[in-house]
Amino acid sequence: MAALPGRGDRRSRGARSPTAPAGRKIFAEQETLILELRRSRQLGIKQLRNELLRDHGLRLALDTLHRVLAKHGEHRLKRPRLVRKGTKRYSRPVPGDRVQMDVCKIAPALYQYTAIDDCSPWKVMGLYPRRSATSTLSFLDRLLEEMPFPIQRIQTDRGLEFFAEAVQRRLMTWGIKFRPTKPRSPHLNGKVERTQRADLEEFWATADPKSVDLRQRLDEWQHFCNPALQHPSVYTIEVNRSC
């Protein structure tokens, strides 16, 4: 007896296979771009994803990128292994409880001030021509304006620009505690050091320090980093402040 129309067995296999040429997600030019970024700048897989999305408008999953890199034997980066000094972590449980701040020289007469919250990944950046107390005061004003939660402590290294009398008086006026790291202990400020390294590898590798719109591009980079990395508790504190 013949089966009625619509009542017969159907194949469960999809109409298109991801491994088939017509159904693949990566084209030859996209594959070339991924390999070029990997080999020339030694970007990690998450850095590759961010770079492709930010500068090339190409949104790819981490599994897709890993498959392309593994296909060409580029899935492992040859970087020197870092030697960790101690295993104790110093992260704080509340956003704003401690904010790590540091200064990085980008080019002659160009310094990047960076501050990142110890609990959440929220960070603020600014560019200044000198590493001085005046620049530090200006960045502190920006920091308080852009941080979405109250700041209780600021932790820095022992740079003279942070120990200036005007800077200390400003922090005392605001009721913010100043906590410098111990001598020869840069690992205590490791979070801001790591985020500055990411800025150097991902942003400054493609930015021109002499560009007219450099500050605007850095603001766009900060905006790109913050929304995708917000900590859930940031929203809670922001709502409490607005009530």
Say how many residues make up the chain. 243
For residues 25 and 49, what is the distance between their CA atoms, to the nearest angstrom? 15
Q: Are residues 66 and 131 in the same domain?
A: no
pLDDT for 17 equals 55
Strand partners, 125: 114
Q: Which domain holds residue 109?
A: 99-242
In terms of domains, do 212 and 121 share one? Answer: yes
Per-residue exposure over 189-220, b if at least 16 CB sit within 10 Å of its own CB, e if not: bbbbbebbeebeebbbeebeeeeeeeeeebee
Question: Does 103 lie in the same domain as 65?
Answer: no
pLDDT tens for the chain, 243 residues long, are: 555 655 666 666 665 555 444 434 688 888 889 988 888 888 888 888 888 888 888 888 888 898 999 888 887 877 666 565 555 556 678 999 999 999 999 999 999 999 999 998 899 999 999 999 999 999 999 999 999 999 999 999 999 999 999 999 999 999 999 999 988 887 888 899 999 999 998 899 889 999 999 999 999 999 988 865 544 444 444 433 333
Together in a domain, 105 and 225: yes
Confidence (pLDDT) at 21:
42
62 and 165 in a single domain? The answer is no
In a domain, 135, yes or no: yes
Residues 149 and 235 in one domain: yes
- The amino acid at residue 85 is K
In a domain, 238, yes or no: yes
Q: Which of 214, 92, 101 is nearest to 147 (CA)?
A: 101
Exposed, middle or buried, 181 (CB in 10 Å: 0-12/13-18/19+)? middle
pLDDT in the model for residue 15 = 59
Tell me how far apart the alpha carbons of residues 94 and 221 are, in angstroms, rounded to a whole number. 25
State whether 129 and 218 are in the same domain.
Answer: yes
103 and 215: one domain? yes
User: Is 175 within a domain?
Assistant: yes
- Count of domains forming the chain: 2
172 and 56 co-located in one domain: no
Instruction: State whether 111 and 210 are in the same domain.
Output: yes
CA distances from 94 to 44, 91, 118, 192, 219 (A): 29, 9, 8, 17, 26
Answer yes or no: pTM beyond 0.75: no
Residues 212, 108, single domain; the answer is yes
pLDDT of 233: 46
pLDDT for 7: 64
